[in-house]
Amino acid sequence: MGLPVVAIVGRPNVGKSTIFNRLVGERIAIVEDKPGVTRDRLYGKGEWLDQYFHVIDTGGIEFGETDEILQQMRHQAELAIDEADVIIMITDSRTGVTDADLELARMLNRTGKPIVLAVNKVDNPEMRNEIYDFYTLGLGEPFPISGSHGLGLGDMLDEVIHNFPDRGEDLENDDVIRVSIIGRPNVGKSSLTNAILGEERVIVSDVAGTTRDAIDTPFERDGQNYILVDTAGMRKRGKVYEATEKYSVMRAMRAIEDSDVVLVVLNGEEGIIEQDKKIAGYAHEAGRAVIIVVNKWDALEKDDKTMIRFTELIREEFKYLDYAPILYVSAKTKQRVHTILPKVNQVAESHAMRVPTAVLNDLITDATVMTPPPSDRGKRLKINYATQAAVKPPTFILFVNDPELMHFSYERYIENKIREAFVFEGTPVRIWTRKKT
């Protein structure tokens, strides 16, 4: 069993995302004074008194709404409640108890799960008297808090961890592969996330830009633990109109930095555009393992050469990602979706592979005998020693007589020899040249 799960629920604009950011200690949720900005569930990791737990922020629950996205937000919140061990219900001291609060409290009571009631926006001690009306929700003692000032959160968290199930000496498994799904808006990232997970976790809509935040979803498959991150679609800078969307792109960039493997999703129907290359470039520059996933492959009229031609096009347009495997899938029909996680495992292993120093130096010696290093004005490059300095991505240092003599073409030759010998599929390989001292 993993860490305990805490879900934060409430109607729109009561300050759930501010509380979420306080609990996970980072600005992960988009915070803006606009109802409904948090649309999906958002996962983070919190800690209180040496007790770690997952936190889920949810879109505001509104009852009786007919708008499709509001209905889906409610559905997402209900899924979060199902996953949770403890639920924090956030209310607003300034508006008092509303009909929506009463209906939500009735819904939460029916779950039979521990509920911690928090009254937010109690920004100074004189306001504490305003919490007593909230006893009428029937959820026990209301905890006065201020998300914006961080007041009262300690007492609330004491109650939260008091209600955690007893899991003995259970510790979080460190053997987790973090996978982020990136691409421009409407290439099918959320549908692909749902297809991999086998359930509707992320709001799927034909409206481009529905996913605004990066959604962290822990899950397990065939004994391997994963965290899947569905990121907001990244638009060209000139098209980033709202402040909200700027945060989304920043969060997507951070999701890439934190990942082991990045799935770069292309729209098979539309082909490759310049923005696809920029987005994939972020993953390459961050040194993440990369798999190129061509989605909506079912929608193309194909002959026996279509996949070959598309592969050639990808290799031409994404020359810097020549190490990345390419998968052709359909999130809609689930075609070949089952091939994604085995490939993720494979490239994650390459990304974290460490080569023994003796074996590496034998390889470099053989490579230099087969193709001697270049010389310049009578002086020849000599590679004295090689070592692997880091993993994720695999990074090698070559100690040489003169770094100026290392031509990029010879460096590429050495990289190719390393790749051939150790099958570094899906991961960038970095080579640094240093003067022997």
According to the annotation, is 48 in a ligand binding site?
Answer: no
According to the annotation, is 189 in a ligand binding site?
Answer: yes
393 preceded by a cis bond (ω within 30 of 0): yes
According to the annotation, is 64 in a ligand binding site?
Answer: no
According to the annotation, is 187 in a ligand binding site?
Answer: yes
According to the annotation, is 16 in a ligand binding site?
Answer: yes
Return contacts of 352-356, CB within 8 angstroms, 24+ apart: 352/260, 352/391, 352/392, 353/391, 353/394, 353/422, 353/424, 354/388, 354/391, 354/394, 355/388, 355/394, 355/418, 355/422
According to the annotation, is 231 in a ligand binding site?
Answer: yes
According to the annotation, is 120 in a ligand binding site?
Answer: yes
According to the annotation, is 46 in a ligand binding site?
Answer: no
Contact 188, 295 (CB under 8 A): yes
According to the annotation, is 344 in a ligand binding site?
Answer: no
Q: How far apart are the first and last CA of the chain?
A: 51
Contact 433, 398 (CB under 8 A): yes
* CA 91 and chain centroid, separation: 29
Contact 233, 189 (CB under 8 A): yes
According to the annotation, is 198 in a ligand binding site?
Answer: no
According to the annotation, is 297 in a ligand binding site?
Answer: yes
Quickly count helices (H) and strands (E) in the chain.
Answer: 11, 17
Of 135, 100, 94, 99, residue with least CA distance to 117: 135
According to the annotation, is 168 in a ligand binding site?
Answer: no
According to the annotation, is 60 in a ligand binding site?
Answer: yes
Q: Residue ranges of the alpha helices (H) in 8-134?
A: 16-24, 68-83, 99-109
According to the annotation, is 208 in a ligand binding site?
Answer: no
According to the annotation, is 136 in a ligand binding site?
Answer: no
According to the annotation, is 432 in a ligand binding site?
Answer: no
According to the annotation, is 13 in a ligand binding site?
Answer: yes
According to the annotation, is 59 in a ligand binding site?
Answer: yes
According to the annotation, is 11 in a ligand binding site?
Answer: yes
According to the annotation, is 361 in a ligand binding site?
Answer: no
According to the annotation, is 233 in a ligand binding site?
Answer: yes
Tell me the pairing of strands 42-48 and 51-57. Answer: antiparallel
Let me know if 425 is exposed, middle or buried by CB neighbors in 10 A (0-12, 13-18, 19+). middle
According to the annotation, is 17 in a ligand binding site?
Answer: yes
CA–CA dist 280, 261 (Å, integer): 12
According to the annotation, is 121 in a ligand binding site?
Answer: yes
According to the annotation, is 366 in a ligand binding site?
Answer: no
According to the annotation, is 295 in a ligand binding site?
Answer: yes
According to the annotation, is 58 in a ligand binding site?
Answer: yes
Maximum distance among all alpha carbons in the chain?
A: 89
The first and second tokens of residue 266, run together, are 């292309």
According to the annotation, is 12 in a ligand binding site?
Answer: yes
According to the annotation, is 373 in a ligand binding site?
Answer: no
Q: What residues form the annotated binding site?
A: 10-17, 57-61, 120-123, 183-190, 230-234, 295-298
Q: What residues form the annotated binding site for GTP?
A: 10-17, 57-61, 120-123, 183-190, 230-234, 295-298
